Amino acid sequence: MFIFIFSILRSGFAQDVSLELQKPPTLNESRISDLWMQQPDDVQIGFGTSSVRYPQQLPPSGHFSDTWKVRGWKNEKVNTQFLVWSKEGVKNFNRLLSDLKGDNGRTIGIDAFFTGSVQYVITDEFRDGCGYRKGADFDSSLVADIIRTDLFSSSVAPMNTQPVWLWIQIPVDAAPGLYKGELTVLADGRDHKLKIELTVIDRTLPFSKNRSFQLDL
């Protein structure tokens, strides 16, 4: 009986933690403005992570880098996000990618790259979930959801964050080794250079039609 009750309590605690992760803390306009005023005056650009939905109205938090270091099997797709944010806004930004050149003399061309601007939608999906909650607190949330692969140039409103999804489909015939290239983000006429370092491992991911097990979430 003790173990059963303990399990229920742990489950409830996990749900509470999940709720905290689902809904960002409510900040008033004054606090949001203060956070943006602490940002540098010029446009900020850097690699984030693929595992975070970055709020649009807040300056991003966490670790950001000018280099994306990633490892993957042949025929695997690897992902990340880079972010553009500015308290003054950006009228126009675009991105250019270069081939990845390997230390083995081989090249992974830019046709292996895909990018998509992350778009935000209003959702009420967290309003009626499991566990105790006040529906009004979760009535609507603005969340990152859509990835627009047809948008190659965009703008960023003042005091806004714009994530861009980036993924590489590693060719099935890629030679193992370290490949390096650049991502150039053009923001209001200024170039921002980001580096990409991809290590291809000498393993091959089977094509989906040849897999004995597949899980779609």
Q: Could you give the domains of the chain?
A: 2-203 (2.60.40.10)
Give the C-alpha separation, 207 to 217, whole Å. 18
- pTM (global) more than 0.75: yes
pLDDT score, position 18: 47
Give me Rg for the CA atoms of the chain.
21
- Amino acid at the residue 39: Q
Handedness of CA 98, 64, 90, 191 (dihedral sign): negative
pLDDT score, position 123: 78
Alpha carbon dihedral 39, 43, 49, 50, in 10-degree steps, equals 130
38-84 pLDDT, tens digit each:
999 899 999 999 999 999 999 998 889 999 999 999 999 999 999 99
Cα 57 vs. chain centroid, distance in angstroms? 16
Secondary structure (3-state) at 85:
strand
CA angle (122 as vertex; 32, 163 as ends), nearest 5? 60
Which of the residues in the chain have pLDDT under 50?
4-6, 8-21
Secondary structure (3-state) at 42:
coil
